[in-house]
A and B are shown apart, each in its own frame.
Chain A
Amino acid sequence: MKKDVRLRFSLIALSAALALFYLIPNTPLYDYMPQTYKNTVTRGITLGLDLQGGLHLVFEVEGNRAVEITAERRAPAIKKLLEGKKLSADVKAEGATIVITPASDEIRRAVEADYKEFELKNSSGRLVYALSSKEIKWIKDNAVDQALETIRNRVDAFGVAEPVIQRQGENEIVVQLPGIKDPKRAIELIGKTAQLEFKLVDDESPLAAELPGSVKPEEEAEMLKKFEGRIPEDDVIFFERTVNKNSDEVFKRPFLLKKQSLLTGDLLSEAGVSIDNRFNEPYVSIKFNPEGARLFEEVTGKYVKRRMAIILDNSLYSAPVIQEKISGGSAQITGTFTMNEARDLSIVLRAGSLPAPVKMLQNITVGPSLGRDSITAGSRAALLALLLVSGFMIFYYRFSGVIAVSALVLNILLLLGAIAALKATLTLPGIAGVVLAIGMAVDTNVLMFERIREELRAGKTARAAVDSGYDKAFYTIVDSHVTTLITAAVLFQFGTGPIKGFAVTLSLGVTINLFTSLIGTKSIFDFLNSRKEVKELSI
């Protein structure tokens, strides 16, 4: 008996020591620990975004747009192929399909020989090709992977400690950025498609001369309506946004552009922020890769003295006049940028564009002050719960209550240690789980003590009462724990991040409770009983 008790005490001491071992990083003691320890235990309890402050974003990659973009890119390539074979045809992308007129067998053979991923949907009068469902699936899937990679590069460049960027389900991306200070800027940086395009300004069309010099933002729609139907088929109107420095008034200057892009941002190799010496304004300098540089030289040579518009995500930044042929592949994007805007723009240009636009499905932003408030409130609640429950237990069960409370303290220590050791995340609902676990932990002891009281009333000796009390209460205790574990498991399965944290602490708390009360408190009773025959139990 005595040996057995000693063994159990060592087990308790060992587990408590282990818990402390993992919790040291949460205490000031960590600074004094040897390096070998710091290498093994790098952190104590990990706090969730709701306690630490930060961003939790869910984006959906618009896979259908990725498919349309693929069709848009293939259309000119098919036209080139047909031209090479001396076949004159009109090739256009319409949504996710490619439409070719006229519908001749020769064209059909030529297209189908080279573009096996397309399926013919209609051949009366014109040829309508759509991507095969296998190809569509691949494009959508690939778009998500690519977007994930691009977002990761952007976040890395932005500089966030320990970001989480994960794919979720078929077409969603989860981004978690702990401790971020400027959430709005981060959201814009991540969500930007960053499709950079260079388009030629069409000043040869008679319409170009009719466009007003500038309009107010609210007049934009009205102006577009006025010219509706008169815009040439290959053209499109874009607005340049300008701000009057003195009055802060915003103006929009319309430009008539050729729809077809001369160059796109995927040919970039570098992007960085520079400062304009004359106006002391930041701008973004870009450099093309060799292929881009060659193309850039070609188009600038071809369109000297004409304007070239620089467009990012369908908004026009500037439309400078090409003064001369530019070799070397360097260019500048100017606009009225703040330093941060210029920096973010260079980040997204460097990281590359997203393969398709992304849509934000969810944004949970928790400010650092709320996180701190929550930690304070949570700790205060835990402390109060501990006081109330301990006070009641000692009042009601006297010395046995003291034993139960020491088991409770051990319980909390082990629970926190387990959270740290298992690298689980402590969330605000998780703290609620700890607080509830305080109340539930003593339940086990209550069930035993009540049973022991009953045995005592039936006239048993203290030792016999303790033994049979523990034995008889055992199954009740296990049953009552299992039901709580079932719901905790379900919450873990279906819950969102913070709720998962609740499920983890609650189930850990309940499991550890079995250990502390069945081994812990029982050992103390056994120990007391083993020293001398206890006549009366303080219970």
Chain B
Amino acid sequence: MIELIRKTDIDFMGKKYIAFAISGVLTLIGLFATVQVGRGAANLGIDFAGGTAVQIKFEKQASLDSIRGLISQAGLKDVELQELPTENKILIMVKKEEERLGGFSDKIVGLLEKGLPGNRITVDSVSEIGPKVGKKLRVDALWAVLASAAGILIYVGWRFQFRFSVGATVATFHDVFAVMGIFYLMGREINLILVTALLTIAGYSLTDTVVVFDRIRENLRFALKEPVEKVINRSINEVLSRTIVTSLTVFLSSLALFFTGGEVLHDFALAMLIGIIIGTYSSVFVASPIVLLWGGSGKPLVKK
């Protein structure tokens, strides 16, 4: 038998206040990031902000500076350039809510064709999002987050006792906000695909929490005399290796996406990688302590 983690006896609950401090900071950053997104002060993708993005593949390497020069010469303003992780690909964006679509992408392509002779370009993709669609996508994303939060709440509330539901819900929100906050700090783009990743993280991080909770619940049934804190610690130690192994397999998958999945899935995979780590951490250090603290520690949780 190969074991990543042999039988452990770690006092997880004893470290709950350190964990709360870390998690508190993470959540606050996430909340701040969310407010910034709502105000439009974050690095929003064009699907949320409205505007145009043109992805161009160059035959030979083209320096960002030369392209920037061409663009400023042509008098185009508020243009953002971004080098993609894939070779010789550049994303050119303008986040402006244009009433009439189509002008910007034509201009950019014409400009590059003329300005960089000898370097053949291929237009990989053009996305033009009008203000109305951008707004609709923002609203839809918000509804999606609320609806999945409600769905998770209802399911967890049905399957677990109230204090477990509170723990699971807080942990889930914690994970989503933390990833959001980290993305905001990294200056990464907040777009539809990130929201997809966040919801996937919400669903998946619950998997971990459920594994821990199931064991706590099971152990509490048979350990009526043992203090709750001890039972929780014992339960986490018992299932520690499996929560880590289950997370690890999905982490490996996400790693494959991160390195070879191409530019569109790159950030999605990054969010998943961060989310999986935080989700595993929160099952142990956020969800479980809340179960312990809710309604005072020490009292028996399960009535016979």
Contacts and interface: CB of A to CB of B under 8 A. Distances in A.
A479 B214 contact: yes
Interface stretch (B15-23, B243-251, B293-301): B243-251
A133 interface: no
Contact of A374 (B155, B199, B262): B262
Contacts of A491: 144, 148, 196, 199-200
Contact of A367 (B2, B125, B239, B257): B125
Interface string A175-206: 00000000110010000000000000000000
Contacts of B167: none
A365 interface: yes
A465 B127 CA distance: 56
A363 interface: yes
Interface residues on B, range: 35 or more
A429 interface: yes
A436 B203 CA distance: 12
Contacts of B86: 373, 377
Contacts of A438: 253
Interface in A396-446: 396-398, 428-429, 431-432, 435-436, 438-440, 442-443, 446
Contacts of A184: 106
B151 A486 contact: yes
A487 to B, nearest CB: 3
B55 A378 contact: no
Interface size class of A (residues with CB under 8 A): 35 or more
A28 B263 CA distance: 30
B125 A506 contact: no
Contact of B125 (A359, A366, A432, A454): A366
Interface centre among A377, A382, A398, A487 (most CB of B within 10 A): A487
B242 A486 contact: no
Given A428-B265, A446-B246, A480-B207, A364 B141 contact: no
Given A380-B260, A487-B200, A440 B250 contact: yes
Given A435-B261, A479-B210, A389 B252 contact: yes
Given A365-B125, A436-B253, A486 B260 contact: no
22 contacts: A187-B102, A361-B101, A367-B123, A367-B125, A369-B124, A370-B125, A380-B260, A388-B255, A388-B256, A396-B2, A428-B265, A435-B261, A436-B200, A440-B207, A443-B249, A480-B210, A483-B210, A486-B151, A487-B199, A496-B192, A499-B192, A502-B196
Interface of B: 1-2, 4, 55, 57, 86, 100-102, 106, 122-130, 132-133, 137, 140-141, 143-144, 147-148, 151-152, 155-156, 159, 192-193, 196, 199-200, 202-204, 206-207, 210-211, 214, 238-239, 241-242, 245-246, 248-257, 259-262, 264-265, 268-269, 272
Interface of A: 50, 58, 60, 183-184, 187, 359-367, 369-370, 373-374, 377-378, 380-382, 384-385, 388-389, 392-393, 395-398, 428-429, 431-432, 435-436, 438-440, 442-443, 446-447, 450, 453-454, 475-476, 479-491, 493-496, 499, 502, 506, 539
Given A395-B2, A483-B152, 12 more contacts: A360-B100, A363-B101, A369-B124, A370-B124, A429-B196, A435-B254, A436-B200, A439-B253, A486-B151, A486-B152, A490-B148, A491-B200
